[in-house]
Amino acid sequence: MNCFNHHSNAAIAICKSCGKGVCQSCAIDKGFAVACSDSCMSEAADTHTMTSRAKRMYGLGGAKKVFPLTVAMWAIFGLLFSGLGVYRFIKSGTPEWFLLLFGAAAFFLAIATYRRVKALELNC
Ligand SMILES: [Zn+2]
Ligand SMILES: [Zn+2]
């Protein structure tokens, strides 16, 4: 493929907006996209903003992906410890306060983290 503007030059990239081939001298590279003109670059930038916003909303990529994992982790901890605590209580008749308290604390943390995730999603 050759450059759309300079037919003798080989295209080094394809415009993200209109799909034309662009050579070294006409390619506009902003890091996230390569475009053939300023208008195509602003178009590509809009698309880029939309995609990254959509990614944030659905929790894809970035640091926010960690939050749901933390929620799941604390929920599992809570389930394990409180379950074990209740099991021990039924077996021996004396409550294992450490297990029950830790389980309750883990559940509380799971809920607190979950609420923080929800608040972040609403802000974007
Ligand atoms: Zn273009
Ligand atoms: Zn060119």
> What HEC string does 53-104 produce?
HHHHHCCCCCHHHHHHHHHHHHHHHHHHHHHHHHHHHHHHCCCCHHHHHHHH
In a domain, 73, yes or no: yes
User: Counting ligands in written order, which one lies closest to the CA of residue 14?
Assistant: 1
User: Counting ligands in written order, which one lies closest to the CA of residue 23?
Assistant: 2
- Ligand 1 centre and the CA of 8: distance in Å? 18
In eight-state DSSP terms, residue 17 is: T
Co-location of 45 and 67 in the same domain: no
Residue 124 has pLDDT above 70, yes or no: no
How many Å apart are CA 68 and CA 117, to the nearest integer?
7
- Ligand 2 centre and the CA of 41: distance in Å? 15
Structural domain boundaries, residue 99: 63-123
Contact (Cβ atoms closer than 8 angstroms) between residue 96 and residue 71 = no
- Ligand 2 centre and the CA of 39: distance in Å? 16
Co-location of 68 and 33 in the same domain: no
- Ligand 1 centre and the CA of 23: distance in Å? 12
Residue 38 has pLDDT above 70, yes or no: yes
- Confidence class for position 8, pLDDT limits 50, 70, 90: very high
Q: What is the pLDDT of residues 50-103, one digit of tens each?
A: 988 887 777 665 555 556 777 888 899 999 988 988 888 898 888 788 888 888
How many Å apart are CA 9 and CA 23, to the nearest integer?
6
In a domain, 42, yes or no: yes
- Confidence class for position 27, pLDDT limits 50, 70, 90: very high
Co-location of 70 and 106 in the same domain: yes
Co-location of 81 and 42 in the same domain: no
Of all residues in the chain, the percent with pLDDT exceeding 70 is 89
In a domain, 2, yes or no: no
- pLDDT of res. 59: 67
- Ligand 1 centre and the CA of 52: distance in Å? 21
Of all residues in the chain, the percent with pLDDT exceeding 90 is 44
Co-location of 31 and 80 in the same domain: no
In a domain, 5, yes or no: no
- Ligand 1 centre and the CA of 60: distance in Å? 28
End-to-end CA distance of the chain: 40
